[in-house]
Amino acid sequence: MTYGFLPQNWPAFQRHLDERGIELSEIETVVIRPSAAAAASPTTIDVVVTARSGRVHTWSQEERAPVF
């Protein structure tokens, strides 16, 4: 289960922001949760980003294991 956004997941998150043209300053909220897709792997997370404009962006990405 996803409890927080780990640093090793940031590159994929940033890539999705860049693809959508979203600047960090435009973000109102970010919700990260285990994927609701039935076929998703246990490490797939759904990300929902709400911009200050009210636009909502969603995607799924693989959650990388912690690096110790």
Residue 43: CB atoms within 10 Å: 13
- Convert the pLDDT of each residue in 2-54 to its tens digit: 445 677 778 888 999 999 999 999 999 999 888 877 666 777 888 999 999 99
Residue partners of 14: CB distance under 8 A and separation at least 6: none
Residue 4's identity, in one-letter code, is G
pTM of the model: 0.76
Q: Determine the Cα–Cα distance for residues 47 and 13; give it in Å rounded to an integer.
A: 9
